[in-house]
Amino acid sequence: MPMYQVKPVCGGDIQIDLPTCMYKLPNIHAQQEHSCTSEHALQNGEVDPAVKALEARQDEIMRKLYELKAAVEGLAKTVTTPDADLDLTVSSSLSPQSSSSTAFKGTADLDTLLGKDLGALRDIVINANPEHPPLTLLVLHSLLCQRYRVLSTVHVHSSVTSVPPQLMSCLGPRHVDSYARHLFQLGFTLIWKNVPTLQMKFSIQNMCPIEGEANVARFLFKLLTPYPSDPAVATLVDSWVDTAFFQLAEGSTKERAAVLRSLNSALGRNPWLAGPEFSLADIACFCCVQCSGSASSAPANVQRWLKSCENLGHFSPAKLLLQ
């Protein structure tokens, strides 16, 4: 100890009756003992917890900066050498796990998919026009509910005057725990709103809104199971999804008939549209076939496929709305 110690001039235990009308300050005389012990602690090589916390925070910031640097370098590489493939680590994180055809047991992890958990509900907001209920998304919602604890809420935006009751209950009955939002892993907020195209918002800061039912369906499907790693299969799935939304749902009768024919031939070769596994392609096409009302007039293979889709039991929410 560099300096000698003096006994306290006055005892720290004197009780003084202080008025309560002013704010309180710790007694500076009584503090001596305490400061002694903290000095003592420091001498023993222990670090003040506040300093520790500060260090940890600095480390965290440095780590984030390094990550950012790596990410920027990776990007720079792809920019300067356009032919370079995506970073290996990125594609490996999406590596396929042979998931069984219908249960979606993939490795999808919400933290990697949606970003780090900030200790609050991750809420996916979907703005949909009540004139075109997004059947595909309702099906995906019920699949998500099987996999995660999902808090589903339906709202009506003030731009819409009234909404039929079945649209208000399209996400199923209220969860018994819905009063405690923090108990859920994922939020699914459906807002009936007067929008020209369907819109999805997730993170305002880091993500632009996703437009169109097909694209939102792709996003939600990735939360269930990774996309097929084989680019050819992935493209096939994508193209079926586009066909479903552009030609089945919005196309003319002629286009529709053509799509049904090609569905028929594809389903002749495989049990599901994109090969041996049930995929987003099946969900999208099923919903769009039902929506366009061409289910009854569909060719044999399509009929068989529609039956097996229904047997999966995923499509009940869509069926409810179609009735």
Partner 1 sequence: MTKEEVQGATEEEQQAQSKKALKKQQKEAEKAAKKAEKQAKLAAEQQSTEEDDFAKDRYGVSAMVQSQQKLDRVLVKVQDLTPDKADQLIWLRARVHTSRAKGKQCFLVLRQQQFNVQALVAVGDRASKQMVKFAANINKESIVDVEAVVRKVEQKIESCSQQDVELHMERIFVISQAEPRLPLQLEDAVRPDGEGEEEGRATVNQDTKLDNRVIDLRTTTSQAVFRLQSGVCQLFRDTLINKGFVEIQTPKIISAASEGGANVFTVSYFKTSAYLAQSPQLYKQMCICADFDKVFCVGPVFRAEDSNTHRHLTEFVGLDIEMAFNYHYHEVIDSITDTMVQIFKGLRDNFQTEIQTVNKQYPSEPFKFLEPTLRLEYTEGVAMLREAGVEMGDEDDLSTPNEKLLGRLVREKYDTDFYVLDKYPLAVRPFYTMPDPNNPKYSNSYDMFMRGEEILSGAQRIHDAQLLTERAQHHQIDLEKIKAYIDSFRYGAPPHGGGGIGLERVCMLYLGLHNVRQTSMFPRDPKRLTP
Q: Which token pair is 272?
A: 């599901």
- Out of 5, 15, 20, 98, the only residue in the binding site for partner 1 (CB under 8 A) is 20
201 binds partner 1 (CB under 8 A): yes
The number of C-alpha atoms within 13 Å of 240 and in the hemisphere containing its C-beta is 26
Q: In angstroms, rounded to a whole number, what is the distance separating the alpha carbons of residues 202 and 84?
A: 30
- Angle between helix axes 280-292 and 213-224 (nearest 10 degrees) is 140
Among 67-75, 118-126, 227-235, 296-304, which window interacts with partner 1 (CB under 8 A)?
118-126
Q: In angstroms, rounded to a whole number, what is the distance separating the alpha carbons of residues 108 and 220?
A: 11
182 binds partner 1 (CB under 8 A): yes
193 binds partner 1 (CB under 8 A): yes
Q: How far is the CB of 48 from partner 1 (least distance, A)?
A: 19
Q: In angstroms, rounded to a whole number, what is the distance separating the alpha carbons of residues 2 and 5?
A: 10
Query: How many chain residues interact with partner 1 (CB under 8 A)?
Result: 26
181 binds partner 1 (CB under 8 A): yes
Q: How far is the CB of 3 from partner 1 (least distance, A)?
A: 37
The secondary element (H helix, E strand) that includes residue 189 is strand 186-192
Q: Binding string to partner 1 for residues 226 to 255, with x set by CB under 8 A, is what?
A: ------------------------------
Q: In angstroms, rounded to a whole number, what is the distance separating the alpha carbons of residues 54 and 110?
A: 29
- List the Cα angle 147/149/150 in 5-degree steps: 100
- Angle between helix axes 280-292 and 253-269 (nearest 10 degrees) is 140
- Out of 135, 191, 244, 284, the only residue in the binding site for partner 1 (CB under 8 A) is 191
Four-point Cα dihedral 223, 301, 305, 213, nearest 10: 40
Residue type, 280: L
Q: How far is the CB of 60 from partner 1 (least distance, A)?
A: 13
196 binds partner 1 (CB under 8 A): no
Among 61-69, 154-162, 265-273, 282-290, which window interacts with partner 1 (CB under 8 A)?
154-162
Give Cα separations from 317 to 37, 40, 169, 212 (angstroms). 66, 68, 10, 20
Q: How far is the CB of 198 from partner 1 (least distance, A)?
A: 14
Among 1-9, 88-96, 180-188, 241-249, which window interacts with partner 1 (CB under 8 A)?
180-188
127 binds partner 1 (CB under 8 A): yes
211 binds partner 1 (CB under 8 A): no
Distance of CA 226 to the CA centre of its chain: 13
Q: Which residue ranges make up the site for partner 1 (CB under 8 A)? A: 20, 118-121, 123, 125, 127, 153, 155-159, 179-182, 189, 191, 193, 201, 203-206
